Chain A
């Protein structure tokens, strides 16, 4: 019998293969992120707000909403032709379905971040310098938490008539603590403060990740009850 992690990897590979074929959600998310950066850039008054104050908020607003586009698609591909029934009737555990979906979503969000972060640095002329590595760590830690929560609520929302509306309504309140911690940590780094000052926010992000990943993995089977 296939073990949980092998099944999760198999499901994640399948999801990534589907996204690679269609590229619909990825392109939508990247275009959304770049458009967001441009809109914020032209709405910004550099004499009133410094770049170090503006950029963290812009970055995490964009990641949050562009991520939602991909998260909605996560279980959307299972709804077409009821492919989810094929997964649920197979001998893989419910937890491996959630973990596979979450891992594919993490790759998706990380790929969007890999394009959006350099774009932000270019647009806003940010002095990235020594903070690039800690910034990547923040982005990854925050992405794990966002993806765990978003994947769970994507599973809950997919069979409703207003899935596109319901997913943000359910997920955004749970995104708040992650986005606050990520924004605060990013602000410390971009304002030139020592990396150690962002350490407390990084630890908080790590704690959120552990709690959300564990809670969402355990909660996922209950979203399948009819």
Chain B
């Protein structure tokens, strides 16, 4: 069964029969899809479905056990050139709590060889409305504020592919709105996005494709235009119930 979107030119992400096992457990089991520039895949599924593992493979943090995963045409695990095009928002903040948001984001900008790292870090923090706390230690910030900094960190190098694992976690309404606006802006500028979320409305609001993952597999893969939110809610509930 192929989930490849045949009409999408020069995909940024191509995944074919991808499998990742931990011992006898297949966390990702034969997943296939592709994503072109400007497309967004909203990935839903119950806990333990393999969503985070899939994102970690695409971020270069895990090696596939079998199958193929390509980013910008380069097979994963890939080198620095490919990693420089990917922005990762994890459900962990990936921040150093003793450093300030400004220092954390500027450090990330330098890792990605961003020109004018300090200025770009400031822009990225301003975009997430974090300039008022830019010089406070991260450990003194609330979970939601840390999540905003984490998003600023992931976006500072203008990635071509954004991997967002529960990015709305901890965000208040204004933070969630800022993130949605940012993701929509990235999409319209050609960035491909894979977003993992348990909030169907948030995911579907920016997605061009939606998938329900269950026990490592895509139980469902649709174009966003082919489904409405109400029916998708039932599909998701069925997937969760089947896993229980």
B99 A82 Cβ-Cβ under 8 A: no
Residues of B within 8 A of A88 (CB): 60-61
Question: 1/0 contact trace for A88-124 toward B, CB 8 Å?
Answer: 1111110000000000000000000000000000000
Cross-chain contact A18 with B60 (CB below 8 angstroms): no
Q: Is the CB of B111 within 8 A of A82?
A: no
Contacts of B88 in A (CB 8 A): 85-86, 89
Minimum C-beta distance from A8 to chain B (A):
11
Tell me which of B62, B94, B103, B113 contacts A81 (CB under 8 A).
B94
Question: Which of these binds chain A: B7-15, B78-86, B127-135?
Answer: B78-86
Task: Give me the interface of B with A, judged by CB distance under 8 Å.
Answer: 22, 59-63, 80-81, 83-84, 86, 88, 90, 92-99, 103, 107-108, 110-113, 137, 146, 153
In A63-81, which residues have CB < 8 Å from any B CB?
77, 80-81
A169 to B93 Cα, complex, angstroms = 31
Q: Is the CB of A82 within 8 A of B60?
A: no
Interface size class, chain A: 20 to 34
Q: Determine if A14 and B96 form an interchain contact, defined as CB atoms under 8 angstroms apart.
A: yes
Q: A18 contacts which chain B residues (CB < 8 A)?
A: 96, 98-99
Chain A residue at minimum C-beta to C-beta distance from B86: A89
Query: Could you say which of A14, A22, A80, A226 contacts B107, with CB atoms under 8 Å apart?
Result: A14
Task: State A23–B103 Cα separation when bound (angstroms).
Answer: 18
- Which residues of A from 181 to 226 have beta carbons under 8 Å from B? 225-226
A residues neighboring B (CB under 8 Å): 1-2, 7, 10, 14, 17-18, 21-22, 77, 80-83, 85-93, 225-226
Q: How far is the CA of A80 from the CA of B97 in the complex (A)?
A: 8
Given A17-B103, A85-B61, A86-B153: A91 touches B84 (CB 8 Å cut-off): yes
CA–CA, A80 and B80, complex, Å: 24
Query: Which residues from chain A contact B22 at a C-beta distance below 8 Å?
Result: 226
| Residues B113 and A1 in contact, CB atoms below 8 Å apart | yes
| Min distance, Cβ B78 to any Cβ of chain A, angstroms | 10
Q: Are B90 and A82 in contact (CB under 8 A)?
A: yes
Closest beta carbon of chain A to B25's beta carbon, Å = 13
Contact A89 B59 (CB under 8 A): yes
- Are A90 and B108 in contact (CB-based, < 8 A)? yes
Could you say which residues of chain A place their CB within 8 Å of the CB of B90? 82, 85
Whether the Cβ atoms of A83 and B84 lie closer than 8 Å is no
Q: Is there contact, CB below 8 Å, between B107 and A21?
A: no
16 contacts between A and B (CB under 8 A): A2-B110, A14-B96, A18-B96, A18-B99, A21-B99, A21-B137, A81-B96, A82-B92, A82-B94, A83-B94, A86-B94, A86-B108, A87-B111, A89-B60, A89-B83, A226-B62
